[in-house]
Structure formats: C-alpha cells, structure tokens
Amino acid sequence: MVKLTGVKLSKSFSQHGQEQRVLWDLSLALTPGTMTALIGPSGIGKSTLLNILGLLDRDYQGTVSLDQTVTNDLNDRELAHLRNSQIGFVLQEALLIERLTVRKNILLPTIYGDKQDKAVLAHRVQQLATQIGIETLLDKYPRQLSGGQKQRVVLARALINDPDIILADEPTGSLDEQNAASVVALLAQLAAQGKTVLTVTHDHLVAEQHQYIFRMASGQLVKER
Ligand code: ADP
Ligand code: MG
C-alpha cells in the first residue's frame, strides 16, 4: 500500500492581472489504511489540492511523492501511468458517458495503460458491482439511473484499476442521507483494506465518519482531528 505525501505545496492563480494564492507551503502525509476528510469553505482550494495530489495538475511548487517516488521527477507518460494505476478519482460531478452502458463506463479507465485480460476485467466489474450494490444496473444506460446510482457507478469506475489511493471530491454531494451513508461505508471498507482515502466534503456528518479531519484555511491545513 502506498503513502501519499505532499511537501510545501504552493499554488497561485492569476486572474485579471491579480495573483491569488490558493495553497501556501502546505504539507500533508496520508497513511495507508486511513480515511481523511478535508473540509473548508467553498473556493478555499480543496479541489485544487486534490488535483495536485491526484497528479492531474503539475503546475505548482513543492513535491508530491508516492512512497519513495517523487512524482515531480517523472515525465508525462510515466506520471499518467502512475496516476492510472494507483489513484482512483471520484469527481464532484458524476460524469458518465451517456451512450455507454454502466458496464462500459466502469471499464473506461482500463482502456488506457497496460492491456488487461478481458475475462479478468469482466469478473472484476461483476465483483465491484456486487460490492457497491449496482449489479443489476450493469446493462442500463446512465439516463436510466438515479443520482445516487450514478454516484456509485462513478465510484466503481474509480476503483476498477484497484488503486491504492482514493481521492473523492464531494462524493456524497448529490446524494440523500441514506445513499451518502452507503458511499461513506464503502470508503471505510476500502480504508480497512489498507487503501488511503481522502474525501473533500462540506457535510459534517460525512466528515465525522473519517479518522482524521483537516480544515483548509489561508492556503494551509489545520488539523481538527
Ligand atoms: P474549493 O474546491 O475549495 O471550492 P477550488 O480549489 O476549486 O476551491 O478553488 C480555489 C480558488 O482557486 C477559487 O478562488 C477559484 O476561483 C480559484 N481557481 C480554481 N481554479 C482556477 C482556474 N483554473 N483559474 C483561475 N482561478 C481558479
Ligand atoms: Mg471544489
């Protein structure tokens, strides 16, 4: 299992000639087998941090490491490979491809990177779908699903390559209390398996179910628990 570390991360955006500092010498280390919640007001930089930790954004100061690998030293191709194999992203908006079935949507991340055995993948989709409670939805299309069901499909898609690190940006944002609870329960189950989970949430009930809670303020993290 993989330890994710960010050291002295800084990031600014310039807009209308004005520089806005979003991250300011921010450091954190996420331990495998733990769940961490990231809270803080809208616009403070939570998604910005997640994108950097998730190796989607290279335009920052500081270093991001996975175990001993300093990702700053990797070229784009190596970085994409690492991201695809080790990091599962659950994005804020459940973006599914409408013309593909749920099954094909879940399999999307397997198209890139190393070729994988079709039968093994088919089995894995089935296994994940059962774990997440969407096994009866695999041949449906996104428009036939409720918001909560879509969110779980997005989660399955994030997990299909069996990543060690799961970064979730408001994964329960569009869910009712019951569906939110089941998504959090699943994240907890993954952490119990040794994975590293970081969840951005504005929902205190969701945050409370994480081992560690950090609040983002003035470009830094304040440990609340
Ligand atoms: P949060 O996820 O906490 O709501 P974000 O990380 O999305 O906040 O954004 C933090 C700040 O950075 C916001 O003020 C936002 O306007 C700014 N920002 C984010 N992305 C960009 C961008 N691509 N260009 C300019 N400013 C941006
Ligand atoms: Mg955000």
Q: Tokens 């041949």 sit at which residue?
A: 139
pLDDT of residue 196: 96
Residue 44 Cα to ligand 1 middle (Å) = 7
8 Å CB contact between 183 and 152: yes
pLDDT of residue 6: 98
Backbone angles phi, psi at 172, to 5 degrees: -110, 10
pLDDT (tens, 9 = 90+) of the chain, 225 residues, equals 899 999 999 999 998 889 999 999 999 999 999 999 999 999 999 999 999 999 999 999 999 999 999 999 999 999 999 998 899 998 766 689 999 999 999 999 898 777 888 999 999 999 999 988 899 999 999 999 988 889 889 999 999 999 999 999 998 887 888 888 888 998 999 999 999 999 999 999 999 999 999 999 999 999 999
> Which residue type is seen at 191?
A
* Domain CATH for 58: 3.40.50.300
Give the ligand at the shortest distance from the Cα of 43.
1
Question: Which residue CA neighbors atom 26 of ligand 1 most closely?
Answer: 13
Residue 21 Cα to ligand 1 middle (Å) = 10
Backbone angles phi, psi at 159, to 5 degrees: -100, -5
8 Å CB contact between 102 and 139: yes
Residues 6+ apart with CB under 8 A from 109: 84, 157, 158, 160, 161
Residues with a beta carbon under 5 angstroms from ion ligand 2: 47
Q: How many domains does the chain have?
A: 1
Distance CA 153, CA 210 (A): 22
8 Å CB contact between 212 and 36: yes
Domain of 96, in residue numbers? 4-223
pLDDT of residue 175: 80
Give yes or no for residue 45 CB within 6 A of ligand 1.
yes
- Among candidates 192, 157, 3, 176, which has minimal Cα distance to 168? 157
Residue 68 Cα to ligand 2 middle (Å) = 28
Backbone angles phi, psi at 184, to 5 degrees: -65, -40
pLDDT of residue 95: 83
71 exposed, middle or buried (CB, 10 Å; 0-12, 13-18, 19+)?
Answer: buried
The span from the first CA to the last CA of the chain, in angstroms, equals: 23
pLDDT of residue 93: 65
> Which residue type is seen at 16?
H
DSSP-derived 3-state class of residue 172: coil
Determine the residue of 11, 12, 47 to mutate for testing ligand 1's pocket, defined as the one with the most ligand atoms within 8 A of the Cβ atom.
47
pLDDT of residue 131: 84
Residue 168 Cα to ligand 1 middle (Å) = 17
pLDDT of residue 39: 97
> Which residue type is seen at 42?
S
8 Å CB contact between 67 and 89: no
